[in-house]
Amino acid sequence: MLAMPALRTVPARVVARQTLRKSTTRAASSSSSSTEATSSPFYTTLTASAATVVAIGSVAWYYHLYGREAFAMTPQEEGLHPTQYPWEHYRWVKTFDHQALRRGFQVYREVCSSCHSLKRIPYRSLVGTIATVDEMKALAEENEYDTEPNDEGEIEKRPGKLSDYIPSPYKNDEAARAANNGALPPDLSLMVKARHGGCNYIFSLLTGYPEEPPAGATVQSGLNFNPYFPGTGIAMARVLYDGLVEYEDGTPATASQMAKDVVEFLNWAAEPEMDNRKKMGMKVLTIGALLFALSVWVKRYKWSTVKTRQLVYNPPVGPKR
């Protein structure tokens, strides 16, 4: 529209020339761009491919040098990986089997407690999970504990109370080492959490002592062969033999039964909150699922107007040319 008056003043010849020039330049430019179009993909593809190869190559080289796990240990030093057992209490909505915990506590008391402490477990925490108040009071009273200093500053002995912790077999670590060939029997309170493989490892360890070390294995004197223990030489000898304890509930006390029970008990000792944690988890997931479903519904509800509306553009009707 604006160009119209200008054009009208210009002679027709000039207009024709201009259009001609315009068309030639357009042709030239289009031809040059088409040569670019054919030549540029070659270089860009090459550069991009080279860059990609270099990038992947350097990542691979770096990973090869520094990325992999360094296995400095021989398989023997690593120890045999424990078997995965189908622990019932490992499942999402299963509590500990408290009858098994009770048996496990009996095994701990009759076998392990002569060497291993269980420092973090007070008698009171066993009440209502493993034993009754009366049983635990009686058990606590069997042991003596230090009193507060009296008027003369003397520390006397008193019978144990529910709030006392399970006594350790040795006065201190040095005494424990001295009694065990220099090896310290570790505290078992958190043992299940402290070892890779957890329950599986300890169960395998307790039941994994062979009759005699395999041919070619060297076992230091004072150590015992156990393939599951890293290094295979462990200062703890085999402790569980069939019929070692007599279960009050009549369960046959095979070595593997005792190992299973004591391991479950040690798992309880390490995670006494597990039953409640799982129950709470179940509730949280239920409520969470409900709220999630609700929020999805609200979102769809709120967006339904936006999603179903139709935008129609009616261009203004201009004069006909």
Task: Report the interface residues with another protein, using CB under 8 A.
Answer: 93-99, 102, 128-132, 134-135, 249, 275, 279, 282-283, 286-287
Q: Is 282 annotated as a binding residue?
A: no
User: Closest CB to another protein among 243 and 281?
Assistant: 281
User: Closest CB to another protein among 132 and 218?
Assistant: 132
The least CB distance from residue 278 to ligand HEC, in Å, is 24
255 binds ligand HEC (CB under 6 A): no
CA distance 136 to 122: 10
The least CB distance from residue 67 to another protein, in Å, is 44
Q: Which does 116 bind (CB under 5 to 8 A by kind): another protein, ligand HEC, none?
A: ligand HEC
Residues 6+ apart with CB under 8 A from 141: 159, 160
Q: Which residues face 131 on adjacent strands?
A: 127
Site residues for ligand HEC, 191-210, by CB under 6 A, read: 191, 195, 202, 205-206
**How many chain residues touch ligand HEC (CB under 6 A)?**
22
Three-state SS sequence of the chain? CCHHHHHHHCCHHHHHHHHHHHHHHHHHHHHHHHHHHHHHHHHHHHHHHHHHHHHHHHHHHHHHHHHCCCCCCCHHHHCCCCCCCCCHHHCCCCCCCHHHHHHHHHHHHHCHHHCCCCCCCEHHHHECCCECHHHHHHHHHCCEEECCCCCCCCCCEEECCCCCECCCCCCCHHHHHHHCCCCCCCCCCCHHHHCCCHHHHHHHHHHCCCCCCCCCCCCCCCCEECCCCCCCEECCCCCCCCCCCCCCCCCCCCHHHHHHHHHHHHHHHHCCCHHHHHHHHHHHHHHHHHHHHHHHHHHHHHHHHHHHCCCCCCCCCCCCC
CB contact at 8 A, 215 and 103: no
The least CB distance from residue 66 to ligand HEC, in Å, is 30
Q: Which does 102 bind (CB under 5 to 8 A by kind): ligand HEC, another protein, none?
A: another protein
Of the residues 118, 136, 236, 270, which one makes contact with ligand HEC according to CB under 6 A: 236
The least CB distance from residue 93 to another protein, in Å, is 5
User: Closest CB to another protein among 111 and 130?
Assistant: 130
Print the binding letters for residues 157-186 with ligand HEC: x by CB under 6 A, - otherwise: -----------------------x--x-xx
The least CB distance from residue 284 to another protein, in Å, is 10
Q: Is 89 annotated as a binding residue?
A: no
Q: Which does 118 bind (CB under 5 to 8 A by kind): another protein, ligand HEC, none?
A: none
The least CB distance from residue 247 to another protein, in Å, is 13
Residues annotated within a binding site for heme c? 112, 115-116, 236
Binding site residues, ligand HEC, CB under 6 A: 107, 111-112, 114-116, 180, 183, 185-186, 191, 195, 202, 205-206, 229, 234-236, 239-240, 262
Annotated binding-site ranges: 112, 115-116, 236
